[in-house]
Amino acid sequence: MNAPLMIETTYTAEEMYDLDKEHRYELVDGVPLERTMSVGSSLVATRLVVRVGAFADSHGLGYAFATDLGYKLFPDNPRSLRYPDVSFVRRDFFPDGRIPKSGYCTFVPALAVEVVSPTDEAEVVEARVSDFLRAGVELVWVVYPEARSAYVIRADGSAARLTESGELSGENVLPGFIYRVGDLFQGL
């Protein structure tokens, strides 16, 4: 469940990062919301970060990041910080071609992935997706391990639902990347 850490206090991204490095709290308008993942959702996210990362590395496209990397998505709102379950950032997005030393990124990933856990509320998942798209993420994948399906949502507003026989495509973000949806759920 996404319960606030302290309802009466709000934080900036910097304050939250310094306060609690053991848990993964997102910030929405300064209010901390804890993110938790089920074992199955974590396995799916791991499979995706490994596949996306290997593909990106082998083609020199950029870097894939796991669930513990936060993004300060809105320059005009220092009290928001989002943690996609998987993300991909193009190599040329990094200032001076270097990986930042801060605890979060201040630029927008090209791909954000949400792997839905049984405790995730639909409205919260939708809010994350909306935030990613509003911030300029080009491609969002929302994966539902329990339903064994995925949604592809693009910056232009178009979307597609994929069943187990469908394939996630990197489209123009990761050209040539293909991964069968059903392969994400092996063993679940």
Q: Tell me the DSSP string of the chain.
A: ---BS-TT----HHHHHHH-SSS-EEEETTEEEE----HHHHHHHHHHHHHHHHHHHHHT-EEEE-TT-EE---TT-TT-BB--SEEEEEGGGSGGG----SSEESS--SEEEEE--TT--HHHHHHHHHHHHHHT-SEEEEEETTTTEEEEEETTS-EEEE-TTSEEE-TTTSTT-EEEGGGGGTT-
At 133-186, the pLDDT tens digits run 989 999 999 999 999 999 999 999 999 999 999 999 999 999 999 999 999 999
Residue 1 above 50 pLDDT?
no
The pTM of the whole model exceeds 0.85 = no
Q: What is the pLDDT of residue 106?
A: 77
CA dist 44 and 181 (Å) reads 10
Question: pLDDT tens across 69-127, in order?
Answer: 877 777 667 777 788 999 999 988 876 767 777 677 778 899 999 999 998 899 989 98
